[in-house]
Chains A and B, each alone.
Chain A
Amino acid sequence: DQQVKQNSPSLSVQEGRISILNCDYTNSMFDYFLWYKKYPAEGPTFLISISSIKDKNEDGRFTVFLNKSAKHLSLHIVPSQPGDSAVYFCAASEGRGGGADGLTFGKGTHLIIQP
């Protein structure tokens, strides 16, 4: 039973436009959510996170939105750049994530930025 779901295996977006990646979760005990970015042959790298007490967190071109009632979060990238082409993983934990519980990951969405 997947507790974190990313239903779009891939997404293609034109350079300069907005990329929106979606994630749904089923475990109501999750209270900390993260997005990781992964290039081929590399480990995942942390991108942005959000605590359940917030509904939005912004860092430069990246914004994460959390809708707790719908158990849904999304990552917005504006504007999209060629270097954003990668696999994006949504992850969740029941703790702060750092020094607390391990992460539960979705299957990932492969984002392709077209020139």
Chain B
Amino acid sequence: EAGVAQSPRYKIIEKRQSVAFWCNPISGHATLYWYQQILGQGPKLLIQFQNNGVVDDSQLPKDRFSAERLKGVDSTLKIQPAKLEDSAVYLCASSGIESEAFFGQGTRLTVV
């Protein structure tokens, strides 16, 4: 069974630029999550989708972050404009009915 796929693995951008991350969940998993992990911290939930609908985006900084899952499968997370404090690893995870969340390898973003 293929795992959660994320791209790119690494990204370096200047502050005020925009960036997008892509995630393809495990086939058949209806729930998709985006987490932000800042160095030295645990992952923090940014947004949760159930199919193509948003379940929880209470911790998503909506002035600069956006996410979509248009067809209920893969998803993109965008930051525009980026700030220095957005430097982190962005993790995508997916889960099925009665299953734990499976995580991708993450995208390491550095904002300079």
| Chain A interfacial positions (CB closer than 8 Å to B) | 4, 6, 34, 36, 41-46, 49, 89, 91, 96-99, 101-108
Contacts and interface: CB of A to CB of B under 8 A. Distances in A.
Given A41-B105, A42-B105, A43-B91, A98 B42 contact: no
Contact of A98 (B41, B44, B96): B96
Contacts of A108: 42
14 contacts: A43-B91, A44-B43, A44-B91, A97-B95, A98-B96, A98-B97, A99-B50, A99-B96, A99-B99, A102-B35, A105-B42, A105-B43, A105-B44, A107-B41
Contacts of A105: 42-44
Interface string B47-87: 01010000010000000000000000000000000000000
B100 interface: yes
Contacts of A98: 31, 95-101
Secondary structure call for the A interface: loop
Contacts of B30: 99
B102 interface: yes
B25 interface: no
B111 interface: no
B33 interface: yes
A4 B42 contact: yes
A105 B35 CA distance: 10
Nearest to A47: B100
A46 B100 contact: yes
B103 interface: yes
A58 B30 CA distance: 28
Which of A4, A43, A98, A105 neighbours the largest number of chain B CB atoms within 10 Å of its CB? A43
B98 A99 contact: yes
B48 A102 contact: yes
Which of B31, B43, B97, B106 neighbours the largest number of chain A CB atoms within 10 Å of its CB? B43
A105 B59 CA distance: 14
B98 A96 contact: yes
Given A34-B100, A101-B56, A43 B42 contact: no
